[in-house]
């Protein structure tokens, strides 16, 4: 759970129609963003509902860097006002994540950055972004041999010889 600190109203402008949120990244960068942009995040929406219940404005501390946070904000800004089925809490989850051309370009980043974005998207409960990242990671390993997959993901073979060649093995240690 994030730490929530009280902030001065002057720090967070936004009385009236376009309210602003103050997001604080793990590297202590303060980022002001319109609430409307971040409404795609279920996590942020729930935080804002909490603010309304207590009539107090807060900054939201997030456990990832400003670089990652800015990428997420860029995604949310791009889809501001768009209806994406995956983000509709009342809709049945789609069987597979749709391919969106813009997402593919947006997620054309190195592996570690992609993993940071998907982790942040999961934390912020932005299902459409989690789905797009998952698809991008799946594309990275699609059609690759097991060895190539391990190299891409940075993991090593920890199976016993028997486990490795037995598809029914459950790896009992």
Residue carrying the six token digits 């949310």: 76
Q: Does 131 bind another protein (CB under 8 A)?
A: yes
Instruction: Report if residue 90 touches another protein, rule: CB under 8 A.
Output: no
- Closer residue to another protein, CB minimum distance, 28 or 172: 172
- Residue 58 or 116: the one with the smaller Cβ distance to another protein is 116
Beginning with the edge strand found earlier in the chain, give each strand of the sheet holding 4-6 in spatial order: 4-6, 58-61, 20-24, 30-34
1 near another protein, judged by CB under 8 A:
no
Alpha-carbon span 115 to 110, nearest angstrom: 9
Which span sits near another protein by CB under 8 A: 23-31, 38-46, 101-109, 115-123? 115-123
User: What CA–CA distance (Å, rounded) separates 150 from 29?
Assistant: 35
CA atoms within 13 Å, Cβ hemisphere of 116 = 17
Q: Minimum CB separation from another protein for residue 95, in Å? A: 8
Stretch that binds another protein, among 9-17, 47-55, 68-76, 129-137 (CB under 8 A): 129-137
Among 55, 96, 101, 105, binds another protein (CB under 8 A): 96
Query: Rounded CA gap, 173 and 170, in Å?
Result: 9
Record the tokens describing residue 22, joined without a space.
């103050």
Q: Of residues 122, 125, 129, 162, which one binds another protein by CB under 8 A?
A: 122
Listed residue (17, 126, 9, 153) closest to 64, CA to CA: 126
| Comparison of 32 and 138: residue with beta carbon closer to another protein | 138
Which of these, 115, 133, 123, lies nearest to 46 by C-alpha position?
123
* Residues in contact with another protein by the rule CB under 8 A: 96-97, 111-112, 115-116, 118-119, 122, 130-131, 134-135, 137-139, 141-146, 149-150, 153-160, 163-164, 167-173
């Amino acid at each position: 759970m994030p730490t929530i600190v009280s902030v001065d109203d002057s720090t967070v402008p936004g009385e009236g129609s376009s309210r602003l949120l103050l997001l604080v990244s793990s590297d202590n960068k303060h980022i002001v963003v319109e609430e409307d942009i971040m409404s795609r995040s279920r996590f942020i929406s729930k935080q804002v509902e909490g603010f309304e219940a207590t009539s107090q404005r807060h900054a939201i501390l997030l456990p990832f860097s400003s670089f990652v946070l800015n990428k997420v904000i860029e995604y949310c800004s791009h889809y501001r006002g768009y209806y994406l089925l995956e983000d509709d809490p009342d809709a049945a989850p789609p069987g597979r994540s749709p391919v969106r051309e813009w997402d593919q370009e947006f997620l054309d980043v190195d592996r570690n950055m992609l993993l940071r974005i998907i982790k942040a998207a999961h934390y912020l409960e932005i299902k459409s972004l989690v789905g797009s990242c998952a698809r991008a990671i799946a594309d990275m390993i699609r059609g690759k041999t097991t060895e190539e997959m391990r190299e891409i993901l940075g993991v090593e073979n920890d199976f016993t010889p028997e486990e490795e060649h037995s598809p029914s093995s459950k790896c009992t240690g």
